[in-house]
Structure 1
């Protein structure tokens, strides 16, 4: 039976190769892939990710080949990403503690949440959070996505996070303990050396963010704790870490390998790689 993958994309822009890379791996294996966004709006590729002449400032070189730009543009212009699932429709919203009759509202929330998550977990074998700058805006602190992540971990199902798509893994926490799911785990992600000093951009936002609003490396170092670890692998071309149930990828060139390693996790029981 073919595997079923849920891929979550930002509505503020995804990096093309970080979708194309794993998606092509899944397609080649005959996997069935479903897309989701925070509110059901169609995701779009960040323009620099479709430009083979765009020079990444921290790296001082181009990061998108002409062939990848073509493949990314073909996917972005196709109808494949039309009509994604909406996390807002799929997962209920936790009530404020100031809500009237909070206790009853919280009980109803948990009832609806359990029903929703049961449906998702019965439909998918793995969760993928695609990277790019967009996840900074609408995925990193998205409580509905956090509930999905918590549910996949509880069900012992793997999760792949790429680039800034790793951030939700650090922020998804059980509200009883507030401990990061990454505590004691080994991960990679966008290191400080890869952060822009200026020009962090998002689709649909008319201002220059400047540098990223948070240094992901520092967050991941704190989230993994003294018994885990962050691996930036700066100076190495590829950086993908498997510490089950998490597969984490540093940035654009790691996308295909990340997809291949998720396949190894799903089909061959891979539990550790890269550290």
Structure 2
């Protein structure tokens, strides 16, 4: 039975360039859809956040305006998130992840990772260690921003030159935030050396896999990305205990 570490942000607000702030959190669809895939495969999932603080959903992720879903579908999402309350409200602290053994890492999006995970040293340590050990790392939408926290043994970014994707600048423009965000995932990843690939169009499913790194572009890619992650685990990756400290 595979054991997957799900890294979530604990951020609840994000500063904007106009001096205001925006409520943020994990994007519900990008947690619920992958968990359904993992549950269907009998996988065990452990949730971890910076300092073990509660992970909260982005309120826009429960609205038809924010998601493009129908009101009943939004209510179903809320119900599914509420059903995971114990895991989301009492996650593992990222600093204690070294005591565990995991087969893969999965990082959902929402704007929250652009507040804390992208620069969290414990996030960088966990993700870089998994990558070095040959275990797959998957991130979707704004989740790939968390990859920016990683450094290799020489201080270089270990994902430079990797093909990857994330929520695109075109999609940020569609939601009216392109000019309000301090930075975008697409620009930051490209600046660090990613070979950034966009899908056939905004909001369409798009998953990229390169040397154990799996990334998805948007909410529609979350479930398919989770399925691809299970395939990567089954292909022969072996869980390795991280050293303590």
- Given the two structures, how large is their TM-score scaled by the length of structure 1? 0.73
Partners of 2:186 and 2:115 lie apart in 1 by 17
Partners of 1:63 and 1:264 lie apart in 2 by 29
Q: What is residue 197 of structure 2 aligned with on the other side?
A: 231
Matched, 1:187 2:164: yes
Shift of the alpha carbon at 1:269?
A: 5.3
Matched, 1:25 2:30: no
Superposed CA offset, 1:204-236 (max 9, x none): xxxxx97222121122223335xxx21122516
Matched, 1:256 2:223: yes
Corresponding residue SS for 1:54:
helix
Match of 1:220 among 182, 189, 196: 189
Provide the aligned length of Structure 1 versus Structure 2. Answer: 221
Closer/same/farther in 2, CA of residues 213 and 169 from structure 1, 3 Å limit: same
Q: Is the 8 A contact 1:196 1:211 kept in 2?
A: no
Q: What is residue 246 of structure 1 aligned with on the other side?
A: 213
Partners of 1:268 and 1:66 lie apart in 2 by 39
Superposed CA offset, 1:229-255 (max 9, x none): 211225161111111211101111111
Q: What is residue 6 of structure 1 aligned with on the other side?
A: 5
Corresponding residue SS for 1:7:
strand
Corresponding residue SS for 1:39:
helix
Matched, 1:54 2:53: no
Partners of 1:63 and 1:157 lie apart in 2 by 34
Q: Which runs of 5+ in 2 are unaligned?
A: 12-24, 238-245
Matched, 1:169 2:169: no
Corresponding residue SS for 1:195:
helix
Corresponding residue SS for 2:189:
helix
Q: What is residue 90 of structure 2 aligned with on the other side?
A: 83
Corresponding residue SS for 1:132:
coil
Q: Is the 8 A contact 2:117 2:146 kept in 1?
A: yes
RMSD value, Cα = 2.3
